[in-house]
Amino acid sequence: MLPRLRGVLCSLPLILLVALLLRGGSAWNYAAHRPHTALRAIPFLFESGNIAYSLAGGHGFGSPLRVDTGPTAWMTPLYPLMLSAIMRIFGIYTYASWVAAVSMNIGFSSITCIPLWFAARRIGGRGLASFATWLWAVFPNAILLSFQSLWDTSLSALLVTTALWATLRLADSLRARDWAAYGLLWGIILMTNAAVLSLLPFFLGWAAWRNEKKSPDAAAHTALACAVIVLCCVPWTVRNYLAFHSFIPLRSTLGLQLAVGNNPDARPVWLGEHHPINDGAERTKYTELGEVAYMAEKSREAVDYIVTHPAHEARLVAGRFVMLWAGGSPHPLDDLFGRSTAWARFVLVFNLCAGLGGIAALVFLVRDRSIYVLPLAAVPVVFPIAYYMTLALPRYRHPIDPALMLLLAFAIRAVAIKKAASHSGGKRPSSEQAG
C-alpha cells in the first residue's frame, strides 16, 4: 500500500489538479463575498488594466494613470495586451472580463507546476520534484495573487520557472535550435516583466559555461541566444524611440520606483504615497513634463536623497528586506506572536520558511559542490536586490517563489537525509530512499 500511495502522491496530474482546485475555489469564495459591480472595475484600475483599457478602446499602448496621458513605456507590453484582448472579447469593465482575467492567472499559476516539477527532478529526482511541486500547489501567496490583482505576477512566475528548467536542460544541448528557442523564451520573459533581466546573465552564463565543456560551438550557441533575445526586444525599443525620441529598451519607471521608496516620508511599508496614480499633484506634473522628463526628474531626486541620507536609507533597506521575506509583514515577530489570525500566521510562517529554506539549501549545495549552485543562488540573492532599494511588495518577489519552493524542498530533504544517516550509523541513504 505504501508504494502505491507514494506513487499517487508523486503524480504530477494530481498535484496540478489540487493546485487548480485551490486557486479556483479561493477565487470563487473571494468573488462570493464581494459585489460584482466592484469586481468588474476596481481590479482593472491599476497601470496594467489602464493600459489594457486604452488598447481595447483603440487609443494605443498608453494612459497608465486612469486619465488620457498618451503613449507610455510604463511596463513591457505582453500582459496588458492579454488583458486588452480579454476586454475586447468579454467587454470593458465587465464581471465576465474579471472572471476571464482571473481564470487566465489561475491557469498560469497552476501550470507552473509543470516546469517546477521537471526542474526539481533534474536536480534531485522524483521525490524532490513532487515535494517542491506540492509546496507550490499549497503556497498561499500563489493562491492569493492569482486572483487578488490583475498584474503579470502569475505569468512571470510561470516564465521564470520555465527559464530555470530550460537553463538546466540547455547546458547539455548541442543543437543551435535549442539555444535559439532559449533566446525566444527570454525575449518573451523580458516583454512580460523587465525586472527578471537581473537573472539572465546568471542563467545564460551558467548554461554557456557548462556547454563549453561539451560542445565546440558553445560560443556560437551563446551568441545565437543573445541575438534572439535582442531581436525580441527591438520592436518594442523602436516603438519607444518613435514615441518618446529617447532610448528606452524595456521600461521607463525606475526613477519613479526609486523616488517613491526613497524620500523624507518613505517607510518600509508603502501605502501609495507620492505616486501619480494616487497623488493628483504628481499626476499633473507627470502630464506636464511628459513621461521621460518626469522619470528623469524623479531619478535625480531619489539618487540625491539616497546619497545624502545614508542612515534613513539603511533603515529603509533593512525594513524592505524583512518585508520581502516575511510576505509583506514589517514586524513578523509581532504578527507571529500577537493577535494575528491563524491564516495570517500560516502565510507568515510559510514565507519565512521559504527564505530560510533558500539559505539552507544554498549552504547544502555549496557543501556538496553541486553544479547547480550558480543559477539557484541567483534566485534569492540577486533578484531581490532591486526591491531592497525601491519597494517591497509580495507580488514583486513572486516570479522567484516557485524556485524558492524548490530550494525549501531541497533543504528539508537534505536535513531528512542527514537525520536518517545519523540513525543508520553514518550510512547516507540514496536519493531514491530519501525521496
Encode pLDDT of 78-94 as tens digits: 999 999 999 999 999 99
Local confidence band at 431 (pLDDT 50, 70, 90 cut-offs) = very low
| Average of per-residue pLDDT across 361-370 | 92
* For residues 280-289, average pLDDT: 94
Mean pLDDT of the chain: 92
pLDDT higher than 50, residue 432: no
Confidence of residue 430 (pLDDT cuts 50, 70, 90): very low
Query: Mean pLDDT throughout 226-246?
Result: 97
Sequence length of the chain is 435
68 contacts 59 by C-beta, under 8 angstroms? yes
Its sign, for the CA torsion 186, 188, 194, 195, is negative
Instruction: Give the pLDDT confidence score for residue 322 in this predicted structure.
Output: 94
Angle between helices 401-423 and 140-148 (to 10 degrees): 170
- How many domains, in total, are found in the chain? 1
pLDDT of residue 427: 54
Has residue 2 been placed in a domain?
no
pLDDT tens-digit profile of 287-330?
Answer: 999 999 999 999 999 999 999 999 999 999 999 999 999 988 88
Q: Does some domain include residue 7?
A: no
Q: Which residues contact 192 (CB under 8 A, 6 or more apart)?
A: 76, 78, 79, 152, 155, 156, 159
> Average pLDDT, stretch 401-419?
93
6 falls within a domain: no
Residue 8 in any domain: the answer is no
Cα 108 to the center of its chain, rounded Å: 12
- The residue range of the domain holding 393 is 13-434
**Which has the closest alpha carbon to 158: 190, 204, 119, 115?**
115
Percent of the chain at pLDDT > 70 equals 95
- Residue type (1 letter), 179: W
All three cell numbers of 55: 488598447
Using alpha carbons only, what angle is made at residue 384 by residues 380 and 385, rounded to the nearest 5 degrees?
A: 120
- In a domain, residue 1? The reply is no
* Residue 423 belongs to a domain: yes
At residue 334 the predicted structure's pLDDT band, cuts being 50, 70 and 90, is confident
What is this structure's pTM?
A: 0.94
Q: Quick one: pLDDT band at residue 217, thresholds 50, 70, 90?
A: confident
pLDDT in tens, 98-143: 999 999 999 999 999 999 999 999 999 999 999 999 999 999 999 9
* Domain presence at residue 345: yes
Give 195's contacts (C-beta < 8 A, 6+ positions apart): 383, 386, 396, 399
What would the grid cell of residue 192 be? 512580460
DSSP string, 29-66: HHHHTS-HHHHTTGGG-SHHHHHHHHHHTTS-SB-TTS
The closest of 294, 181, 313, 292 to 240, measured between CA atoms, is: 292
426: pLDDT confidence band, cut at 50, 70 and 90?
low
Place of cell 540577486: 382
For 181-199, what is the mean pLDDT?
97
Using a pLDDT cut of 90, give the percent of the chain over it.
Answer: 83
Give me the pLDDT at residue 207, please.
95
- The better pLDDT of the pair 6, 406 is held by 406
Q: How many angstroms separate the CA atoms of 240 and 21, rounded? A: 41
Predicted confidence at residue 39, as pLDDT, reads: 95
pLDDT at 404 over 60: yes
Does residue 347 lie within any of the structural domains? yes
